[in-house]
Structure 1
Amino acid sequence: MKKIGFLSFGHWTPSPQSQTRSAGDALLQSIDLAVAAEELGADGAYFRVHHFARQLAAPFPLLSAVGARTSRIEIGTAVIDMRYENPLYMAEDAGAADLIAGGRLQLGISRGSPEQVIDGWRHFGYAPSEGQDEAEMARRHAEVFLEVLRGEGFAKPNPRPMFPNPPGLLRLEPHSEGLRERIWWGASSNATAVWAAKLGMNLQSSTLKDDETGEPFHVQQADQIRAYREAWKAAGHTRQPRVSVSRSIFALVDDRDRAYFGYGNDEGDKIGFIDERTRAIFGRSYAAEPDILIKQLAEDQAIAEADTLLLTVPNQLGVAYNAHVIEAILTHVAPALGWR
């Protein structure tokens, strides 16, 4: 059995070919798709966060709205770029959104990917400390965020407060019990996956990772997951961790699917450089008739290792079509692979 959710980047463009032509469209359609996915029996609605781009950005208003419109489905991010975040303010926003959702938040955080502007996090008021780089700054923000989510007091109260205080040091409010265990780290390397395990975060691994061995993407990703689980066990955590992978998967069950995705030109991994130093491997997309798709996915080692699968959706094709994409996987593919 696997949890199966969708992951939307929330792209929008004013092009007449797009059904998502404004930021408002992207937000409102994201809410509608989460509601539709819950009705179809999907397990998760996840959203990517990008800044300075025509995509979803500020996640917590969206997560809160989805939480208020749904009752069962997990609601998450994959991922929030911690270079841009004030971890204390973020903890307040996350606590509020999780309480609205009834404890269903699954927050993926990370260092983030190359952005639309140069050092965009500087415009948000953040800069690495002396001797740090931006990745170390992001990990430090993450560590502070995790610490305050524990809900322990750390701030000395004013002796003459406006309102009465409880005794002792004060914590951030609102605090949502259990959210600390529902934080995920989006790791692109084996080393950061191990680091996430030591800190007790769940693991998100997407369709891109550092090319560390030259092996096929799904093999490297499966090795990363195994290294993460070994580090988790060595750290002595008492709960079972969760691991998700993301994939673009399309079951070709009607003429619309074949028109959009039946071209069959994305059947292998790709190699590229996400910056001047980092060689990355990009995992393939899957698009085929259900019987073929089932055989292909059965050979994906990383999907087999993960307990959660996030289906990246082409959100600009509209809510109805994306609900169809999700339903096709749940109906025609997942049962044959033992995911349902």
Structure 2
Amino acid sequence: MKKIGFLSFGHWSPSPRSGTRSAADTLLQSIDLAVAAEELGADGAYFRVHHFARQLASPFPLLAAIGARTRRIEIGTGVIDMRYENPFYMAEDAGAADLIAGGRLQLGLSRGSPEQVIDGWRHFGYAPAPGESDADMGRRHAEVFRELLKGEGFAAPNPRPMFPNPPGLLRLEPHSPGLAERIWWGSASDATAVWAARQGMNLQSSTLKADESGEPFHVQQAKQIRAYRAAWREAGHTRSPRVSVSRSIFALVNDEDRAYFGSGEDGDHVGIIDNMRAVFGRSYAAEPDRLVELLKTDEAIAEADTLLLTVPNQLGVAYNAHVIETILTEVAPALGWRGTAPAAGNEAA
């Protein structure tokens, strides 16, 4: 059984062909899609974070709004670029959003990805310490953030405070118990997956990976996941880790689906990203029976406990809800990911 959610990059464009022509369109439709996905029985609503782009950038207002409109679905990110983040301010925002959502946040973090502008984090007031790279800075911010989420006091109280203080050192408020165990790391290589396991973070493995062996994407990704789980066991963590993979998957059940995505089967792609040779996973689009057979061969999906469906958000809420529903009802049960087709509003497996 798998948790199945969606991942939106939150694109918008003023083009007449876009269903999201402004930031307001994207934000409001993201909330509506999360509500619709919950009603369909999906397990998660996740959002990418990109700065200086016509995409979603500030996650916590959106996560809090979704938390207030939903009751069951997980709400997360995939991923927040920690080079841009003040860990202290972020801990307050995350705690507040998680409390509004009743403890449903699943926050994916990373050390960063290729940017729209040169060293964009400098405009946010951050710079690597002497001897650090920007990636090192992102990891350091993540470590501070995770330490703050533990809720331990660290700040000496003012002897003449505006309001009475509890005894001892003070922590940031609001604090949300349990959020510290719902932090994920977005990893593109085997080494960073192993590092994430040792740190006690869940793993998000996306639709691209460092090409470390020349093997098909899903084979390399499955090996990455197995290395992660082995490192988790060796680290002696007491809880079970979670692993997600992201895929573009479309069941072609009507003429609209075929017009958008019925151009034939594709394969992996190889390219250079951030001076790294990367292999990009294929998209899956086929009639449901054929789609089931194709997905059976994906080793990484088999290894993961959570599947995030990347959705074409510019096609609107109704169409994206249809995309999610066809996977939940036409594909997932046949693969054993669901015992039966999920009933609207019911708890999903």
With the length of structure 2 as denominator, give the TM-score of the two structures: 0.96
Provide the residue aligned with 1:279 in structure 2: 277
In the alignment, does 2:177 pair up with 1:177? yes
Aligned to 1:184, the other structure's residue is in SS state: strand
In the alignment, does 2:107 pair up with 1:107? yes
Provide the residue aligned with 1:288 in structure 2: 286
Provide the residue aligned with 2:214 in structure 1: 214
Provide the residue aligned with 2:248 in structure 1: 248
In 1: Cα distance, 2:282 partner to 2:112 partner:
21
In 2: Cα distance, 1:298 partner to 1:46 partner:
24
RMSD: 0.6
In the alignment, does 2:236 pair up with 1:236? yes
In 1: Cα distance, 2:225 partner to 2:151 partner:
29
Provide the residue aligned with 2:156 in structure 1: 156
In 1: Cα distance, 2:205 partner to 2:109 partner:
11
In 1: Cα distance, 2:105 partner to 2:315 partner:
26
Provide the residue aligned with 1:261 in structure 2: 261
In the alignment, does 2:83 pair up with 1:83? yes
CA shift, 1:112, in A, is 2.3
Q: Summarize the alignment of residues 116-127 of structure 1 with structure 2, pairs less than 5 Å apart.
A: 116-127=116-127
Provide the residue aligned with 1:196 in structure 2: 196
Deviations 1:26-58 (A, max 9, x none): 000000000000000000000000000000010
In the alignment, does 2:292 pair up with 1:305? no
Unaligned regions of 5+ residues in structure 2, if any?
Answer: 339-349
CA shift, 1:279, in A, is 0.7
Aligned to 1:339, the other structure's residue is in SS state: coil
In the alignment, does 2:47 pair up with 1:47? yes
**Which amino acid in the other structure matches residue 133 of structure 2?**
D
**Higher mean C-alpha displacement, 106-115 vs 326-335:** 106-115
In 2: Cα distance, 1:133 partner to 1:208 partner:
22
In 2: Cα distance, 1:179 partner to 1:95 partner:
8
Provide the residue aligned with 2:9 in structure 1: 9
Provide the residue aligned with 2:66 in structure 1: 66
Matched pairs, number: 338
Aligned to 2:80, the other structure's residue is in SS state: strand
In 1: Cα distance, 2:191 partner to 2:140 partner:
16
In 1: Cα distance, 2:111 partner to 2:298 partner:
26
Deviations 1:57-102 (A, max 9, x none): 1000000000000000000000000010001110000000000000
CA shift, 1:109, in A, is 0.5
Provide the residue aligned with 1:337 in structure 2: 335
**Which amino acid in the other structure matches residue 268 of structure 1?**
G
In 2: Cα distance, 1:279 partner to 1:134 partner:
20
In the alignment, does 2:325 pair up with 1:327? yes
In 2: Cα distance, 1:196 partner to 1:172 partner:
25
In 2: Cα distance, 1:273 partner to 1:101 partner:
39
- Where has structure 1 moved over 3 Å in runs of 4 or more? none
With the length of structure 1 as denominator, give the TM-score of the two structures: 0.99
**Which amino acid in the other structure matches residue 279 of structure 1?**
R
In 2: Cα distance, 1:21 partner to 1:111 partner:
30
Aligned to 2:6, the other structure's residue is in SS state: strand
CA shift, 1:320, in A, is 0.1
CA shift, 1:113, in A, is 1.4
Deviations 1:270-300 (A, max 9, x none): 111112x311110000000011100110000
Unaligned regions of 5+ residues in structure 1, if any?
Answer: none
In 1: Cα distance, 2:200 partner to 2:273 partner:
28
Aligned to 1:83, the other structure's residue is in SS state: helix
In 1: Cα distance, 2:209 partner to 2:186 partner:
10
Aligned to 1:185, the other structure's residue is in SS state: strand
CA shift, 1:3, in A, is 0.1
In 2: Cα distance, 1:297 partner to 1:246 partner:
13
In 1: Cα distance, 2:120 partner to 2:241 partner:
32
In 1: Cα distance, 2:113 partner to 2:17 partner:
27
Deviations 1:166-190 (A, max 9, x none): 1111001000000000000000111
Aligned to 2:314, the other structure's residue is in SS state: helix
Aligned to 1:264, the other structure's residue is in SS state: coil
In 1: Cα distance, 2:143 partner to 2:214 partner:
31
Q: Percent identity?
A: 83
Aligned to 1:321, the other structure's residue is in SS state: helix
